[in-house]
Chains A and B, each alone.
Chain A
Amino acid sequence: QQPVQSPQAVILREGEDAVINCSSSKALYSVHWYRQKHGEAPVFLMILLKGGEQKGHEKISASFNEKKQQSSLYLTASQLSYSGTYFCSTTRTSGTYKYIFGTGTRLKVLA
């Protein structure tokens, strides 16, 4: 089942913050976050494996809730380079490499 991302699209001014959510109806094993710019391949941002985990750095971080059904990506003080489509990519169990990508969130940062 494909994870649902929200919002579908967001427009920000430089310096503003954004939160992108990735929700699954069932518990997940892992969540990866990717950013894809138009016409380019997806680029890995980070992985979360543990319920309650938070990782990343000051500008871009992510969390995985205790039930492991929702992950959120936090973009702080956005820059023009953050523009692109963000995808979560999930696995349901350990030992599978069948990654299911979310519905995507298009983010546009304006000067």
Chain B
Amino acid sequence: DTGVSQNPRHKITKRGQNVTFRCDPISEHNRLYWYRQTLGQGPEFLTYFQNEAQLEKSRLLSDRFSAERPKGSFSTLEIQRTEQGDSAMYLCASSLDWDPEETQYFGPGTRLLVL
């Protein structure tokens, strides 16, 4: 069991550019979550997938943010026309739908810096 992996681990981009992050959940975990975390704050929910279906999305997720999980395995989060306020750590987590503890296993995150 290799854990949740995220790539890239760090991304520096210029304002206005598009960026895409990838999350590979733990094998067989059918639930996948994306969060954003800024310094000193708790993770902020962005979106949730059950298999390939995107079932919940934060209103904070503006038109510039989109997430996909095309085959119910890995997921991508894209930010279009990045702004300096998008600078944050983007965390992915996964869990099993039959786990009564609903334990979420977090990946190491992708740290984004928008210049």
A residues with a Cβ closer than 8 A to B are 2, 30, 32, 40-44, 46-47, 87, 89, 96-104
Residues 25-45 of B, flagged 1 when their CB comes within 8 A of A and 0 if not, give 000000101010000111111
Q: Are B108 and A99 in contact (CB under 8 A)?
A: no
Whether the Cβ atoms of A42 and B56 lie closer than 8 Å is no
B58 touches A101 (CB 8 A): no
Pairs across A and B, CB under 8 Å, 13 listed? A41-B91, A41-B106, A42-B43, A43-B106, A44-B105, A47-B101, A96-B56, A97-B31, A97-B33, A97-B48, A100-B45, A101-B42, A103-B41
Q: Which of A97, A98, A104 contacts B42 (CB 8 A)?
A: A104
Please, which residues of chain A bring their CB within 8 A of the CB of B103? 44, 47
Which B residues lie at the A interface, using CB under 8 A? Answer: 31, 33, 35, 40-45, 48, 50, 55-56, 58, 91, 101-109
Inter-chain CA distance A42–B89, complex, in Å, is 12
The distance from the CB of A34 to the nearest CB of chain B, in whole angstroms, is 8
With A97-B33, A98-B56 known as contacts, the answer to whether A47 contacts B43 (CB < 8 A) is no
In the complex, are the beta carbons of A99 and B33 less than 8 A apart? yes
Contact indicator B41/A104 (Cβ below 8 Å): yes
Residue on A nearest B109 in the bound complex, by CB: A41
- A76–B41 Cα gap in the complex (Å)? 25
Cα of A96 to Cα of B50 in the assembled complex, Å = 11
